[in-house]
Structure 1
Amino acid sequence: MALDENLQKTLLENSESARVQAKKYLEKRHGFSSVFGKGRAFIGIAGLRGIGKTTMLKQRLLQEPDAFYISLDSFTNLNLFETAKAIQERYGVKELLLDEISYSKNWQDQLKQIYDGLEIRVFFTSSVAIDIINAGADLSRRVIVKNLFPFSFREYLHFAKKIDVGRIGIGHLGDAKKMQEIARLDPYFEEYAAGGIVPAYMEDKNPAIFRGILERIIERDLVFSLGFDGKDILNVKAMLENIANSTVEDVSYSSISRNIGITKYKAIRYVEAMEKAFVLNPVKPAGSNVMKEPKILFTPPFRALFQKNMEVGKSVGTLREEFFVEAMKINGFPVQYLKGARGEKKPNYTTTMHGKKYVFEIGGPTKNRAQMKAMGKNSCILTYPSNTTPPYKPLTAIGLL
C-alpha cells in the first residue's frame, strides 16, 4: 500500500527538523565511529533513555546527506517496509535512522523485509535491550546490536567539566603517583553519581528529569515492548521503592514478593524487565552451583528517586557499589559477588580482566582490610573518599579504565 502523500511530507519535515537540531551537538561521544562504520548489517543501538541515542542518530544526519530520521514513538503505526520503500524512491534515501524501534509493531519482520528487499541501510535505537537471537525473525546475521552506556566517569569529566583524563589500565592501580592524581578527582564524584552519569543531565541539572525518564520507561517502553498493563506498572513502581529503601543484602526475589504482595515469578519478571530497561543491575554470585539469588543494584542515580531521604551522602555505601558495578559494565567487565558461609566476611566482587582474576572490596577510606589478606596480589580495596595507601585505591579509578 502506497504511503500517504501528506504523511510523507510530515516525515520529511520531521527529519529535516532533526537535522537542524543536530547542529547543537557537534561533539560526538566516544564510540560514534564504531556504530556508524561500513558494512551491510543493520545496526541496533540499545541503552537507557537520556544517554544520547537520539542525539547520535541526529548527528548522523549531518554526516550523511542521504540519511532520513523517523521517531517511531511519534509515528507508532507506520509500516516500516512501505515507509522505507516510499522515501527511498522519492528522496533517494540511503540510510534510514529509526528512533525507538520497539514502538513499531512487528519491527523484527519488517526489518527482515527491508534487509532482503531494499538497497538501504538501517540504524535503529531502543530503550529496551534487544534480543536478536530470540527476536522471532531470522535477524542474527542481518543485525548487529551495540549497547550504548551512560557516561563513564572519564567521559563525564570531559563533557561536563572540560577535564581530560587519559584512560588507565588495570595495571595503573599499582602506580602510587597515578593513584594520588586520581584521588584529586574526588570532588566530582557525587555530582557524577547523582546525575552526571546521564548525558541529558548536562542540559537540565534538575533531578526531576530522572523521574520523567523513569515514568516514560515504565509507562510506555515496557507497555509497548513487553506488554505490561496498569497493574504491572503499579507493581514495578512499588518494587523499585521497596528495593531503594532496603539494604542490598536484604533484597531478594522472595523479599520483593512478600513486601509488595506478588508471586516470586512476577518479582523475577519485573526485575528482569527493569534490567532490560537498564534501570537495575542484578549481579550474580561467583562460583558454580551456587544456589543464591543475585544482588539487585540500581543504575545511578535512580535509587535516589525512591528513597525517603534523597541526599547522596546518606546512602554513599550503596552508591559506591552501584558506581563500581556500572563502571565495570561500561568497560565490558561483568562482575560477580563473592558469597561466604554464614557469618563469614568476604570481599565484595570478583571479575576477570584480560585473562586474570581480580578481587575488589568497596568501602570508605578506613575500610577493614582483614578479608583481603588471603586474596593475593590481584586484589585491592576501592575507596571513596579516596585512600591511596596500599592496598587502598581510589574508587573513581575504575571509572577511568
Structure 2
Amino acid sequence: MENTDIEILYNTFYRKLAKVSLKYVRYLYEKINWNVCLIGIKGARGVGKTTMLLQRIKQTSPDGSNAFYVSLDDLWFKTHSLAELVEYLYTHGVTHLYLDEVHRYPDWTRNLKNINDNYPDLNVVYTGSSMLEIDNSKVDLSRRQTVYEMSGFSFREYLAFEEAIQIAPLSLEKLLNQHVTLSMEITSSIKILPWFERYLQYGYYPFYKESMEDYPIRLQEVASLIIDTDLPAVEDIEYSTVQKAKKMLMILAGRVPFTPNISQLCKELETTREVGLKMLYALDRAGLLNLLTTEVKNYKTLSKPEKIYLNNTNLMYALTSRVDKGNLRETFFFNQINSIYPTYMPPKGDFLIDNTYLFEVGGKGKTFDQIKDVPNSYLAIDDVEYGHKNRIPLWMFGLLY
C-alpha cells in the first residue's frame, strides 16, 4: 500500500485530534487499564466513546506519531481492508491503534483476533455498540481482552462538565449512611435542584452542548440511527423488523413505565412473541429502553420483563409529548443506579438494588406504607435538598459514577 492510499485517513485523524479538548475527561477514563494489549469499550451511540479515544491519544501522543485512530465505518474500507491498514501502520512505527465503530466492519471479531495473534506487541483499543455480545461471538475474544462499558453522563459528571461543582463519586453505602452530611456540604455552595431539573431534560448525552435548541431532534436522530444501522450490524434481522423496532420504541415511549402485555404488544406490531421479545431486549442492549426484571437478564432465554422504561430522562423529553413526573423520577433512579449496581423488580416497592436494598421513589409526600417493616428499605425523594434517616434526596443517586 502506498503512502497516498492512507493519506486521507491521516488527514481525518489529525483533524479530529486537533479539535478534541482535554478540559473534561469521562469517569471511565481512569478506570481503564490502558496497558492491556486489547481493550474493548462498549456503549450506546452518543455517550462519548470516540472523544475518549482521541483524548487518550492527545494525552499520550500529542502529535499522533506512534498512534492512529480510524473509524471502521469509513468509506475507505470499501476498497481497502483492515488487515492491510494494520500491516502498513505497524511497519511504519505505530504502536497504539484505536478502532472506532468495530461493529460496522464485516467479521470484526476474527479480524481483531488475527491482529492480536499477528502483532502481539501492538496495543489495540476499540469501541463498539452497547449491543455487542462479545463473549458469544463466533470467535471468542473474552480471554484476550478487557471490556468496559460506558454510560451517559451521570448527574455528578454533568455538574462537573458545566463547571458548577466538583464532587467525587460516591459508593452506595456511603450515600445511604452519610447523605445528610454530604447534601449539606454540596448545597452550601450550589442551588442543586435547578441544576437537577436541567440535567433531567438535556444532561445525559455529552453532545447536548453543541446545540441546546436542536438537542431533542438530535436525540430522535440518534435513536433512529441506532435502529437503522447498529441493530442490523449486530443482529441478523430483516428490513421489516427494523421498522417494527422503531414502531415498538414509539409505542412504548408513549406508555412508559409500562407493565407489558406481550401478546397485545406483538399484536399491534403484527409480529410473533419470539420476535417481539427479541426486539425488546435488543432495544434494551442498544441503550434505548431499560427493562426491569426479577432476576439477571438472560439475552439467550428471553423472558417477559416486569416493567419497561425508556433508558434515560433525556429520551423521555425527546420522544414523548407529555412527561409524567412519577415516570421521570423512576426513570432517573433506575438509569443511574443500574449503571453501577444490579437492579431488579422486588415483590414490594419499586426497585431492589444488589439484592439487598429496597427502594420506593416518589415526591415529598411519599411514605413508607408500601415497604414498612422491610429491612434495608429506603425512600428516594424528589424536590428536596436534604433527607432524613432513610429518606434520601433523589438527586443524590446521580452521584454514584
2: CA distance, partners of 1:275 / 1:174: 32
User: Aligned residues: percent identity?
Assistant: 28
User: Contact 1:285–1:292 (CA<8 Å) still a contact in 2?
Assistant: no
Shift of residue 399, structure 1, vs aligned partner? 1.2
More displaced stretch, 250-259 vs 142-151:
250-259
2: CA distance, partners of 1:247 / 1:53: 28
Q: What is the TM-score when the length of structure 1 is the normalising length?
A: 0.87
Sort the Cα spacing of 1:166 and 1:142 in 2 relative to 1 into closer, same or farther, 3 A. closer
> How do residues 164-313 of structure 1 correspond to structure 2 at under 5 angstroms?
164-169=166-171, 170-175=173-178, 176-180=180-184, 184-205=191-212, 206-285=215-294, 293-300=305-312, 301-309=314-322
Q: Which letter maps to 1:60?
A: R
Which whole-Å deviations, capped at 9, do the CAs of 1:29-62 have from their partners, x for residues lacking one? 122133352133x111111111110101111221
Sort the Cα spacing of 1:19 and 1:61 in 2 relative to 1 into closer, same or farther, 3 A. same
Shift of residue 250, structure 1, vs aligned partner? 3.4
Shift of residue 150, structure 1, vs aligned partner? 0.8
1: CA distance, partners of 2:22 / 2:83: 30
Shift of residue 182, structure 1, vs aligned partner? 5.7
Look up the SS of the partner of 1:163 in the other structure: coil
2: CA distance, partners of 1:236 / 1:357: 34
User: Contact 2:259–2:308 (CA<8 Å) still a contact in 1?
Assistant: no
> How do residues 378-397 of structure 1 correspond to structure 2 at under 5 angstroms?
378-386=376-384, 388-397=387-396
Sort the Cα spacing of 1:292 and 1:275 in 2 relative to 1 into closer, same or farther, 3 A. closer
Aligned counterpart, 1:369: 368
Q: Which letter maps to 1:147?
A: E
| Correspondence 1:58 to 2:54 | yes
Aligned counterpart, 1:138: 140
User: Contact 1:47–1:128 (CA<8 Å) still a contact in 2?
Assistant: yes
| Correspondence 1:333 to 2:341 | yes
1: CA distance, partners of 2:177 / 2:109: 48
Which whole-Å deviations, capped at 9, do the CAs of 1:366-400 have from their partners, x for residues lacking one? 01321221112x21110111262444210111111
Aligned counterpart, 1:102: 103
Look up the SS of the partner of 1:259 in the other structure: helix
Sort the Cα spacing of 1:172 and 1:132 in 2 relative to 1 into closer, same or farther, 3 A. closer
Look up the SS of the partner of 2:365 in the other structure: coil
Sort the Cα spacing of 1:96 and 1:172 in 2 relative to 1 into closer, same or farther, 3 A. closer
Q: Which letter maps to 1:55?
A: T
2: CA distance, partners of 1:35 / 1:217: 25
Q: Which letter maps to 2:130?
A: V
More displaced stretch, 126-135 vs 138-147:
126-135
2: CA distance, partners of 1:38 / 1:134: 25
Q: Which letter maps to 1:308?
A: S
Look up the SS of the partner of 2:165 in the other structure: coil
Sort the Cα spacing of 1:395 and 1:59 in 2 relative to 1 into closer, same or farther, 3 A. same
Q: State the Cα RMSD in Å.
A: 2.2
> How do residues 54-93 of structure 1 correspond to structure 2 at under 5 angstroms?
54-62=50-58, 63-64=60-61, 65-75=65-75, 76-77=77-78, 78-89=80-91, 91-93=92-94
User: Contact 1:182–1:394 (CA<8 Å) still a contact in 2?
Assistant: no
User: Contact 2:260–2:308 (CA<8 Å) still a contact in 1?
Assistant: yes
Shift of residue 154, structure 1, vs aligned partner? 0.7
Shift of residue 249, structure 1, vs aligned partner? 4.1
Shift of residue 349, structure 1, vs aligned partner? 0.9
Aligned counterpart, 1:34: 31
2: CA distance, partners of 1:165 / 1:156: 11
Look up the SS of the partner of 1:248 in the other structure: coil
Q: Which letter maps to 2:44?
A: L
Look up the SS of the partner of 2:324 in the other structure: helix
**Gap runs ≥5 in structure 2:** 297-302
Look up the SS of the partner of 2:30 in the other structure: helix
How many residue pairs match? The answer is 378
User: Contact 1:156–1:197 (CA<8 Å) still a contact in 2?
Assistant: yes
